C-alpha cells in the first residue's frame, strides 16, 4: 500500500509541469483582529517565536530591546534584550517567564514539546533553554559567551561565539562535537525525546542530543551540496523521526533520517525561514517563504505541503496589514485549522483560521 502511494505520488508530480508546481492553489483564511491582549507596558518587538501548548496557552519569545553593553568593565558584557510572555487560549496575558534570565538576548524561537515543556532558543547567547511547564529551568544546552567582542571578530556572531570558522580543523560551519552553538535558530524532538538543534546561522549544522542532553552527533557544514547548508533556519521532526531542516539560503528543505543520513530535498520553497509540522498521523507541513525585512514587494506567502513535498496550497503575501506577513519567523500548527504566525517585521502574532 505504501509503495503504491509513493508510486502514485511520483507519477502525479512528474506529470505536472514545474510551473504548475510553483502555483499551488490559493487557500482562504481569516486572521483574528486582536489575538493577544497586551497589558499596558508590555509590547512585542520583533517576534522570534510563537508556540502553543496542549492546553492552548500561547508563548511568545520576542526582542523587546537591544542587549545593553556595560562600559569600562574588564570586557563589555551584554544583558537583556528579549522576553518570554505567556497568554491563555483566549489571548489574555498570563505572565512573563524567565524575566532577567542570563540567556535572553536575541529571541530566535520558542517551541513546546509533547510534554508541554517550553524550549527557548536564543541566537545571540547561543543558548537552548528548556523550561518545565511551571516555568522552571530544566535543561540547558550551550553557553552564553562571557563577553562581547568589540570590534566584532570577523565571522563571529554578535555574541562573540567562536566556532563559526569551523575550528579544530573542521569544515566551515561544522562546529564542534559539543553544545557550543553559533547563532542557533530552532529545536525539535523525536518520539524518543532526542533533541535536534538547528545550529544555525553561524554554524551550519544540526546537532543531536539524547533527551538528557548527552551529545550524540552532528552533521552539516556551509555549502550548497546535499547535506550542506547556507544556514539552518528552522527544524522539525516527523512522527517517524525524520528531520526536516529549512535551508533558506539554498531555497530548500533538506530531509534526513534520524541518524542524519541525507534522504532528499524539497525545493521551490523560497526563503524558508520558518517551518512547522502538525502532530499526529497524516502530518502536513507549513513553510514560510518569508520576505526579507528590507523588502515588502516579494515573497511572503506560506505554503502548505505534504511531507513528500507536494504542494497543497498557499496563502498570504508580504505586507503590514492583517492577513499580510512581515518576515515570518515562526509558525505554530498544533492543528491544520488554526495557525499562529510570528513576525519579525510587524512586531505581532497573527492567529489564522484556515477555511
Partner 1 sequence: MVLMVGTVIAQQKATITGVPDIPFTSVANFLKLPAGEYLGESVAVATDSKGNTYVYHRRDTTRLFQFDRNGTFVKEIGKGYYGFEFAHSVRVDKDDNIWTVDEGTNLVTKFSPEGKVLMVVGRRPPAIDGPVVFPAGPNKPAEKYILCRPTDVGWDPQGNIFISDGYCNNRVVKYDKAGRFVAQAGSEKAGTALGEFNLPHGLQVDERGNVWVADRTNNRYQVLDNNLKPIKEITNLGTGWTLCISPGPHQYVFHSNSNPNGNPPGSWDTTGEIYKTELDGTVIGKFGKPGKVAPGFQVVHMLDCRNPSEIVLGEIESWRVQKYVFQSGASSRTAAR
Contact set with partner 1 (CB under 8 A): 38, 40-46, 62-67, 69, 76, 81, 105-106, 123-124, 148-152, 156-160, 183, 293-297, 319-321, 324, 326, 345-348
Nearest to 161 by CA among 105, 217, 219: 105
268 within 8 A of 250, measured Cβ to Cβ = no
Q: Which three cell numbers stand for residue 284?
A: 502536513
> 68 CB contacts (<8 Å, ≥6 apart)?
78, 79, 80, 81
284 within 8 A of 305, measured Cβ to Cβ = yes
Query: With respect to partner 1, which residue has the nearer C-beta, 83 or 304?
Result: 83
225 within 8 A of 173, measured Cβ to Cβ = no
**E strand or H helix at 304, and its extent?**
strand 302-306
Query: With respect to partner 1, which residue has the nearer C-beta, 112 or 127?
Result: 127
Query: With respect to partner 1, which residue has the nearer C-beta, 40 or 212?
Result: 40
Distances (CA, A) of 343 to 234, 291, 323, 324, 334: 14, 10, 12, 10, 18
Query: With respect to partner 1, which residue has the nearer C-beta, 114 or 152?
Result: 152
Report d(CA 248, CA 344) in Å as an integer: 16
Query: With respect to partner 1, which residue has the nearer C-beta, 107 or 277?
Result: 107
Q: Which three cell numbers stand for residue 307?
A: 511531507
Query: With respect to partner 1, which residue has the nearer C-beta, 53 or 327?
Result: 327
Q: Which three cell numbers stand for residue 213?
A: 542532553
Query: With respect to partner 1, which residue has the nearer C-beta, 16 or 321?
Result: 321
Cβ 40 to partner 1 shortest distance, Å = 7
Report d(CA 196, CA 128) in Å as an integer: 11
Other CB atoms within 10 Å distance of the CB of residue 170: 17
327 within 8 A of 293, measured Cβ to Cβ = yes
Q: How is 12-49 classified by DSSP, letter by letter?
A: HHHHS-HHHHTSPPBPPEEE-S--SBPPTT----EEEE
Query: With respect to partner 1, which residue has the nearer C-beta, 64 or 117?
Result: 64
Cβ 191 to partner 1 shortest distance, Å = 33
Report d(CA 276, CA 264) in Å as an integer: 18
Cβ 66 to partner 1 shortest distance, Å = 4
Query: With respect to partner 1, which residue has the nearer C-beta, 24 or 202?
Result: 202
Alpha helices in 168-264 (DSSP H): none
Amino acid at each position: 500500500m505504501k509503495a503504491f502511494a509513493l508510486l502514485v505520488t511520483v507519477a502525479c508530480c512528474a506529470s505536472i509541469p514545474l510551473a504548475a508546481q510553483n502555483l499551488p492553489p490559493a487557500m482562504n483564511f481569516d486572521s483574528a483582529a486582536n489575538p493577544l491582549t497586551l497589558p499596558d507596558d508590555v509590547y512585542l518587538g520583533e517576534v522570534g517565536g510563537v508556540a502553543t501548548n496542549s492546553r492552548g496557552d500561547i508563548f511568545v519569545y520576542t526582542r523587546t530591546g537591544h542587549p545593553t553593553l556595560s562600559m569600562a568593565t574588564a570586557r563589555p558584557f551584554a544583558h537583556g534584550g528579549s522576553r518570554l510572555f505567556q497568554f491563555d487560549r483566549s489571548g489574555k496575558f498570563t505572565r512573563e517567564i524567565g524575566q532577567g534570565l542570563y540567556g535572553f538576548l536575541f529571541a530566535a524561537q520558542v517551541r513546546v514539546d509533547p510534554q508541554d515543556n517550553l524550549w527557548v532558543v536564543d541566537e545571540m547567547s547561543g543558548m537552548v533553554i528548556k523550561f518545565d511547564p511551571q516555568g522552571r529551568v530544566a535543561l540547558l544546552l550551550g553557553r552564553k559567551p562571557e563577553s562581547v567582542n568589540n570590534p566584532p571578530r570577523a565571522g563571529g556572531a554578535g555574541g562573540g561565539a567562536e566556532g563559526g570558522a569551523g575550528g579544530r580543523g573542521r569544515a566551515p560551519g561544522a562546529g564542534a562535537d559539543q553544545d557550543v552553538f553559533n547563532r542557533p535558530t530552532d529545536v525539535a524532538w523525536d518520539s524518543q525525546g532526542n533533541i535536534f538543534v538547528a545550529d544555525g546561522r553561524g554554524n551550519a549544522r544540526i546537532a543531536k542530543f539524547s533527551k538528557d542532553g548527552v551529545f550524540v552527533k552532528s552533521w552539516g557544514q556551509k555549502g550548497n551540496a546535499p547535506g550542506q547548508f547556507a544556514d539552518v533556519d528552522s527544524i522539525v521532526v516527523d512522527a517517524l523521526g525524520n528531520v526536516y531542516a529549512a535551508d533558506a539560503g539554498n531555497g530548500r528543505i533538506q530531509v534526513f533520517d534520524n541518524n542524519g543520513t541525507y534522504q532528499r530535498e524539497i525545493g521551490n520553497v523560497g526563503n524558508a525561514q520558518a517551518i512547522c509540522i502538525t502532530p499526529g498521523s497524516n502530518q502536513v507541513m507549513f513553510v514560510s517563504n518569508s520576505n526579507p525585512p528590507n523588502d515588502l514587494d516579494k515573497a511572503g506567502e506560506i505554503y502548505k505541503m505534504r511531507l513528500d513535498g507536494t504542494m497543497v496550497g498557499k496563502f498570504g503575501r508580504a505586507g503590514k496589514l492583517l492577513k499580510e506577513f512581515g518576515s515570518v519567523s515562526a509558525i505554530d500548527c498544533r492543528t491544520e485549522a488554526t495557525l499562529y504566525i510570528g513576525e519579525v517585521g510587524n512586531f505581532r502574532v497573527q492567529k489564522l483560521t484556515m477555511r
